[in-house]
Structure 1
Amino acid sequence: MSILHVILLAIVQGLAELLPVSSSAHVVVAEKLLGLDPTTPQMTLLLVMLHTGTMFAVIVYFWNQWKKTYFSSGDAFKRFLIRLVWASLLTAVIGEVIIKVIEKTAFKGASKGEIELLFGRLDLIAPALFAAGLLILLAGLMEKRRMGAHEKVYGDSVTMRQAGWIGAIQGLCLPFRGFSRSGATISTGMLTGASKERAERFSFALAVVLTPPAVGREVMRLVKASHAATAAGVPIDLHGSMMMGLLGAVFAFLAGLLALRWLSSWLEEGRWYLFGIYCLVASVVVFGLYHAGY
């Protein structure tokens, strides 16, 4: 894997992770087009570092907003924490149940790693992108109607009901690559009555909470792969891979900041629905790539 490959993947990850267009779908397509193997330990380490870079981009970008909204007083923080825990629990429970159901029905006898690889197939990513596009388009058109009618939504934080719906929809799209997490959660917040600003703030706060466990899981997988490679007499160059990972994290961080500025701008201008149109078009392109043999 060359430095150019790392930079390209970092930019794709940084932009697509934080824009509502599904980073997993774009990274899978990029890996296939670049001829990279996503199962190698080096690739696993790189993806861990890219996720870490985008997580820090979210923290830097939203920190002042979160301080003003969620940490302005003890009561504000308590309300935020209760909603965050509620949404996180729903995400974890619903996501785990769906994964178990998939394991027991559609892919009997397959390991979690094998199932993840199966969900990396382009013919499964395409319909997930299409579904995400429809949800984003619906929320965007509803927001345009609300803006046209000069309707206003008051309050700084999402309600318990809105937090519950956001957590539930996030759990629902956990296994499916192509179903944008930010697209689904922000759209759900808007469809349940939250303002676009509240939905955006809460969605990314929830993402920061859920990113470390996901990164930890990938690190454990990397450690196991490293031990297996060493036992097989093919040790991994962890130092070289870490340097590549750090380079990728920096570019993912910078691309993430750019993506968040873009996202906030389009939300503010009532252009959220355009991300939905993009996902619909992308689903057709991905399906075409699948039939082309990728």
Structure 2
Amino acid sequence: MSILHVIILAIIEGITEFLPVSSTGHMVIASSLMGIDKDDFVKLFEIVIQFGAILSVVVLYFKRFVRSFDFYVKLLIAFIPAAIVGVLFKKKIDLLLESPLVVAITLLAYGIVLLFVDQWFNKVEVDDSNKISNATAFKIGLFQCLSIIPGTSRSAATIVGGMSQKLSRTAAAEFSFFLAVPTMFGATCKALWDYKKDHAVLFTGEQLKFLVVGNVIAFVVAMLAIKTFITFLEKKGFKLFGYYRIIIGIVLIAMYFTGHLA
């Protein structure tokens, strides 16, 4: 892994973290195409820089994070299902992260779903993420569990989950952003803990540099991506993302079976 790989992966993460296209899936594919060896540090890196992108949510929506205790109760309720699933199935998840074919198939399958989401969930009763009930928060958290499969997209799963509970696109997207903070904080802490147990030296100087650079770039790019995504989602919906996922999924499957993607 080189500094150029770090920059490319961080830019990909910043752009895709909040889009319904799977940031993890894109990084898995990019790593494979660039021939990056999937050692323990690379796997850790791909998780930790997601937290860098997530911090942009705290900055952009800072007032929401200091407004009320109830806000954190809802995030905790929504976070619990994915936390339990993540702990129980961590080893299986790690294996899936090494498979570009799994990512390609999942991108394609959920791309088809996104073509119809705007038609399926077009009745809006809640247009403000502050008005989400605890029960709704928990149901959205159940949808987030789907994203343990690389290529699904945590953002897509939680936004669709919100829309299924009659939230507007904007309210569902904002709650998805907020839920990402405890989710990725937990995933980052767990990944660092597991990595520390298996390595006498936590990080070399170069590895630490890679993590700092990757997180900073992901943070800055994500700041720019969030508002652009919200504006686009309000006007256009999910269909374009569905077509994108389908095209990318088909191309990647073809590349895999022709030996161009390992």
Range of TM-score over shorter length: 0.7 to 0.9
Aligned amino acid, residue 81 of structure 1? Y
**Is residue 194 of structure 2 the alignment partner of residue 194 of structure 1?**
no
Larger C-alpha radius of gyration, 1 or 2?
1
Aligned amino acid, residue 139 of structure 1? V
1:286/1:239 CA distance change after superposition, 3 Å: same
- What is the percent sequence identity of the aligned residues? 32
Quick one: which of 124, 132, 150 aligns to 2:110?
Answer: 132
* Alignment TM-score, normalising by the size of structure 2: 0.87
Matches within 5 A, 1:1-294: 1-41=1-41, 43-64=42-63, 66=64, 71=67, 74=68, 77-78=69-70, 80-95=71-86, 99=89, 112-113=90-91, 116-142=94-120, 153-155=126-128, 156-174=130-148, 176-227=149-200, 238-293=204-259, 294=261
User: 2:43, 2:84 → 1: CA distance?
Assistant: 25
1:38/1:18 CA distance change after superposition, 3 Å: farther
Runs (5+) with no aligned partner, structure 2 = none
Tell me by how many angstroms 1:113 deviates.
4.2
User: 2:92, 2:174 → 1: CA distance?
Assistant: 34
1:154/1:199 CA distance change after superposition, 3 Å: closer
User: 1:209, 1:226 → 2: CA distance?
Assistant: 26
The answer to whether the 8 A contact 2:27-2:46 is kept is: no
Tell me by how many angstroms 1:216 deviates.
1.2
Runs (5+) with no aligned partner, structure 1 = 100-111, 231-235
Counterpart in the other structure of 1:104: none
Aligned amino acid, residue 73 of structure 2? I
The answer to whether the 8 A contact 2:56-2:220 is kept is: yes
Cα RMSD (Å) of the superposition? Answer: 2.5
The answer to whether the 8 A contact 2:83-2:183 is kept is: no
Number of positions where the alignment pairs a residue of Structure 1 with one of Structure 2:
259
Partner SS state of residue 237, structure 2: coil
* Alignment TM-score, normalising by the size of structure 1: 0.78
The answer to whether the 8 A contact 1:122-1:289 is kept is: no
The Cα offsets for residues 156-189 of structure 1, whole Å up to 9 and x where unpaired, read as 4223343222100111332x10000001111121
